[in-house]
Structure 1
Amino acid sequence: MQREKVEDEKPLLNLEIENPIHHKKKKLSLVKEFSDESRNLWEIAGPAIFTAVCQYSMGALTQTFAGLVGDLELAAFSVENSVIAGLGFGVMLGMASALETLCGQAFGAGKPKMMGIYMQRSWIILLATACLLTPLYTYSPYILQLCGNTPEISQAAGKFAVWMIPQLFAYAFHFPIQKFLQAQRKVFVMAVVSAIVLVIHVTLSWLFMLKYGWGMAGAAIVLNGSWWLIVILQLIYIFVTKSDGTWSGFSWLAFADLWGFVQLSLASAVMLCLEFWYLMVLVVIVGVLPDPLIPVDAISICMNLQGWDAMIAIGFNAAISVRVSNELGAGNYRQAKISVTVVSITSVAIGVVAMFVVLGTRDTFPYLFTASDAVAKETTRISILLAFTVLLNSLQPVLSGVAIGAGWQSLVAYINIACYYFFGLPAGIILGFKYGFGGMGVWGGMIGGICLQTAILIAVTAFTNWKKEADEAESRVRKWGGSAAFD
């Protein structure tokens, strides 16, 4: 009875005496949770960002060398890299992103042996996908010309695309390996491999493209070789170390229950491809404008810079997908929710800084990519749109990472179709062609699509029942992972 009396009086005591202290302790607890989660995120995001920057830099620096070779070479590389290779990159990355959900949740649930099986299944699916995409590279001159590019640019870009087919098959191995290692938080290994390959890539690109004068042929040799070297070095690490028990050798189980895995892979591919291709389409549409060479070069330079900035967001995308999938797999739904809050605040703060850097250097940065005054002036003119794009893209990929970690790929695919292709893209075409705003109008309308999609994803994330997501994590792995891995 005495205990009950004390408990009855507790609310009054809390109001008059304990409540301020309790409130202060709660604030300190929130600060500590934010700090601890921020540290956990940066342990993954830091190396992931460095890895993404190194790997993106291989293509970006090759584009810079191509600009030094000539304007046609710059346009050819930009169109091939943005449209043909960009399409292949998007499909392969999207298909492999199923592993972020499955490997991440399996690792969090304490079932590491399943991860090696999942990676092998993904290799099988992605190699088959690469074979299906090969005709896209082979017939790219005709495809690009049908899209409205000039015959000169289409032929040059198409020829280079055929030379880059080996890169497509490197993607088929690389992306599953990347997701496999990320789910185990072995991001430092990936960072070291990428740094080594980048140094080799820059040296050989300068040597073959400029010093020896091999031009675009030299670019193809070095770029293909660099991607395959990344694959080989990462495979050596996995085979030698066994990756802490997650790799137990090749298994026939990789061929079992493939259909469930294909379903999630396709949903992931649709979701990410719709995002990845969205701004890449910008280069194609601008290529249809009158006198497209200068606008295409200017937009390509901006997309190059936007790509560099996007590597930061991609690092956070990887980090949050790992954190959310691991925590949901372990049943820690509250920690998953905290992770989403912390990464969103951090990425937006970085996006604001990036926006001001673009605005502050818009008169100078174009000359890092071109010697043409006309291209540089056009790049400066449209840089205001680049500034808004880097701000929006600081948060949008992070929200996509949340979706991948939680397994919402199908839902986000529908959101992307509506916002990007039913709203943003038509708005850009209308502004660019009907109202005569040119490249700025096309890009501006497409930014509207990004704004709408980001707002919807914020709402979806804010109203998510994280406890329910944690309850569904194991059943999701069983459904799409296949029963054989659980036997």
Structure 2
Amino acid sequence: MGGDINQKLLTETTKNEEEEVLFKERLWTEMKKLWIVAGPAIFTRFSTFGVTVISQAFVGHLGPTELAAFSLCFTVLLRFGNGVLLGMASALETLCGQAFGAKQYHMLGIYLQRSWIVLFATALCLLPIYIFTTPILIALGQDKIIATVAGYISYWFIGIVFSFIVSFTCQMFLQAQSKNMIIAYLAAFSIGIHICLSWLLTVKLKYGLSGALLSTILAYWIPNIGQLLFVTCGGCKDTWKGFSMLAFKDLMPVVKLSLSSGAMLCLELWYNTILVLLTGNLKNAQVAIDALAICLNINGWEMMISLGFLAAASVRVSNELGRGSSKGAKFSIMTTTLTSFCIGCVLFVLFLFLRGRLAYIFTESEEVANAVADLSPLLACSILLNSVQPVLSGVAVGAGWQSIVAWVNIASYYLVGIPIGVVLGYVFKMEVKGVWVGMLLGTLLQTVTLIIITWKTDWDKQVLLARSRVNKWFVPESRETNGNQENGA
């Protein structure tokens, strides 16, 4: 009897040890898969963000009018086009990720081509904004000289807008297959070329604004050419089978998913823009905007990390759902969220400790530095929320919930966050802090809502939905191959 009891205890101990070892192995495997996507994605976003910072630095040495016009075009026009196209391209993350998980590899190439068609049509619709920039800005009350220079810059930005079509789609196509190291290499090469070209064209050869803008366009297009060559010339043999007329079929489901994806992301991007616009109408707006710009700049750099985790969450969740593993999807969500949150906690403590000292990197004004120090607790809270919210948005993209999240964003940001911000900032005279507190409350509400949705989701049902989505748009590989041969692809 005693031997039986001891044997039973030993069996239970061995079983617990095996489960612990199994969990550690599973966690290690998931972390490797996570960072294969997140690492290059974070580096690529830092590099892309750096291209704009470098361009702005060189343009700033040309004169205050050129800098103001460039900043206006970048903040309003380019960010608007970026948001629309990036949002619509995120539909490709859902489709490619789930198809790759389901091992329908040849479908990724068809989805990529369908997304090109949808995004190209969208970019054409955006063209009038960039063609008629000067009269639009003058009608909005902008200074005529700045508006004229901005109109000249916006013509150059048309090339950048069309570069987003290739950039976003190829990145998502490659990320779904965890082949995005090539994107990081190309981004590093591009930013190096951009620094040298900007100096050569603006400082050495004295081409001024034209030189800076030419270098900027090349910095956006060089990675695109590399990505296209990698995709079409053998880097993705299983997922790229050549150009096909099948890309023009069944476009409406892709359009619908793209529109809901665009709405989801644009609502988030415009939310931050409204924060700046509201601040501009406050008393002592110059100091408030300067302090806010510094905080948003710091927040923008940190967001590159969060967006990397957004990409990782999207890829891992869509892959697991496509593979038919609800447990894998849930484990991936938990791992990605906790990893991002731990990084967010470290940055939260760091920025609380540094407070206004960071401001002196950007300004020599003690008044602005004091304003930044006053805002730093809100900045730290934003960084903490940013460590969770984008990951949950990535989960939504991976699962195909874009339309649901779009409605959550409308309710959280525009029915709660902005009204509270206006009341606190203007009625209760809390100025920029009040506006930001309102915005934070909106983001907090959105984050909590997404946590509840994710927690209560039936992931077994999501697997079935992913499978039905893949099967609905499935094209047999033999049919695609025949289509390529008929079209000489």
Contact 2:107 2:474 in 1 (8 A): no
* Pair 1:303 & 2:301 matched: no
Change in CA separation of 1:136 and 1:20 when aligned onto 2, cut-off 3 Å: same
Name structure 2 gaps, 5 residues minimum.
480-489
The percentage of counterpart residues that share the same residue type is 44
Change in CA separation of 1:321 and 1:76 when aligned onto 2, cut-off 3 Å: same
Contact 1:75 1:297 in 2 (8 A): no
Change in CA separation of 1:165 and 1:421 when aligned onto 2, cut-off 3 Å: same
String of CA shifts for 1:117-151, please: whole Å, max 9, x gaps.
Answer: 11111111111111111222234456556767677
> Whole-Å Cα distance in 2 between the matches of residues 303 and 205 of structure 1?
25
**Residue correspondence of structure 1 range 278-289 to structure 2 within 5 A:** 278-289=271-282
> Whole-Å Cα distance in 2 between the matches of residues 97 and 255 of structure 1?
19
Q: Partner of 1:111 in structure 2?
A: 104
Q: Point out the more displaced range, 413-422 or 366-375.
A: 366-375
Q: State the shift of 1:315 in Å.
A: 1.1
**Residue correspondence of structure 1 range 42-61 to structure 2 within 5 A:** 42-61=35-54
Q: Point out the more displaced range, 29-38 or 140-149.
A: 140-149
**Residue correspondence of structure 1 range 410-429 to structure 2 within 5 A:** 410-429=403-422
> Whole-Å Cα distance in 1 between the matches of residues 250 and 148 of structure 2?
43
String of CA shifts for 1:367-412, please: whole Å, max 9, x gaps.
Answer: 4334555555544443332221111111111111111111111111
String of CA shifts for 1:231-282, please: whole Å, max 9, x gaps.
Answer: 1111111222251221122111111111111011111111111122221332
Q: Partner of 1:276 in structure 2?
A: 269
> Whole-Å Cα distance in 2 between the matches of residues 151 and 13 of structure 1?
88
Q: State the shift of 1:286 in Å.
A: 2.4
> Whole-Å Cα distance in 2 between the matches of residues 229 and 317 of structure 1?
25
What amino acid is the match of 2:410? I
Task: Quote the RMSD (CA, aligned, Å).
Answer: 2.8
TM-score, normalising length: structure 2: 0.89
> Whole-Å Cα distance in 2 between the matches of residues 191 and 385 of structure 1?
32
* Pair 1:353 & 2:337 matched: no
What amino acid is the match of 2:264? M
Q: Partner of 1:92 in structure 2?
A: 85
Q: State the shift of 1:467 in Å.
A: 1.2
Q: Partner of 1:471 in structure 2?
A: 464
Q: Partner of 2:425 in structure 1?
A: 432
Name structure 1 gaps, 5 residues minimum.
1-10
Q: State the shift of 1:202 in Å.
A: 2.1
Aligned residues: 476
**Residue correspondence of structure 1 range 166-177 to structure 2 within 5 A:** 166-177=159-170
Contact 1:49 1:315 in 2 (8 A): yes
Q: Secondary structure at the match of 1:363?
A: helix
Q: Secondary structure at the match of 1:167?
A: helix
> Whole-Å Cα distance in 1 between the matches of residues 337 and 6 of structure 2?
38
> Whole-Å Cα distance in 2 between the matches of residues 253 and 322 of structure 1?
25
Q: Partner of 1:198 in structure 2?
A: 191
What amino acid is the match of 1:53? F
Change in CA separation of 1:44 and 1:306 when aligned onto 2, cut-off 3 Å: same
> Whole-Å Cα distance in 1 between the matches of residues 274 and 143 of structure 2?
16
Equivalent residue in structure 1 for 2:128, among 123, 135, 148: 135
Q: Partner of 2:257 in structure 1?
A: 264
Q: Partner of 2:332 in structure 1?
A: 339
Q: Partner of 1:63 in structure 2?
A: 56
Change in CA separation of 1:477 and 1:42 when aligned onto 2, cut-off 3 Å: same
> Whole-Å Cα distance in 2 between the matches of residues 162 and 190 of structure 1?
27
TM-score, normalising length: structure 1: 0.89
Contact 1:370 1:376 in 2 (8 A): yes
Q: State the shift of 1:31 in Å.
A: 3.1
Change in CA separation of 1:341 and 1:99 when aligned onto 2, cut-off 3 Å: same
Q: Point out the more displaced range, 407-416 or 133-142.
A: 133-142
Q: Partner of 1:30 in structure 2?
A: 23
> Whole-Å Cα distance in 2 between the matches of residues 45 and 12 of structure 1?
49
Contact 2:107 2:475 in 1 (8 A): no
> Whole-Å Cα distance in 1 between the matches of residues 309 and 152 of structure 2?
35
What amino acid is the match of 1:318? A
> Whole-Å Cα distance in 2 between the matches of residues 244 and 321 of structure 1?
23
Equivalent residue in structure 2 for 1:247, among 237, 240, 247: 240
Q: State the shift of 1:430 in Å.
A: 2.2
> Whole-Å Cα distance in 2 between the matches of residues 455 and 270 of structure 1?
20
**Residue correspondence of structure 1 range 323-472 to structure 2 within 5 A:** 323-370=316-363, 375-472=368-465
Contact 1:37 1:342 in 2 (8 A): yes
Q: State the shift of 1:82 in Å.
A: 2.5
String of CA shifts for 1:35-57, please: whole Å, max 9, x gaps.
Answer: 22112211221111111111121
Contact 2:81 2:126 in 1 (8 A): yes
Q: Partner of 2:484 in structure 1?
A: none
What amino acid is the match of 1:430? V
Change in CA separation of 1:138 and 1:378 when aligned onto 2, cut-off 3 Å: farther
Q: Secondary structure at the match of 2:356?
A: coil
> Whole-Å Cα distance in 2 between the matches of residues 212 and 281 of structure 1?
39
Contact 1:274 1:413 in 2 (8 A): yes
> Whole-Å Cα distance in 2 between the matches of residues 216 and 284 of structure 1?
27
What amino acid is the match of 1:260? P
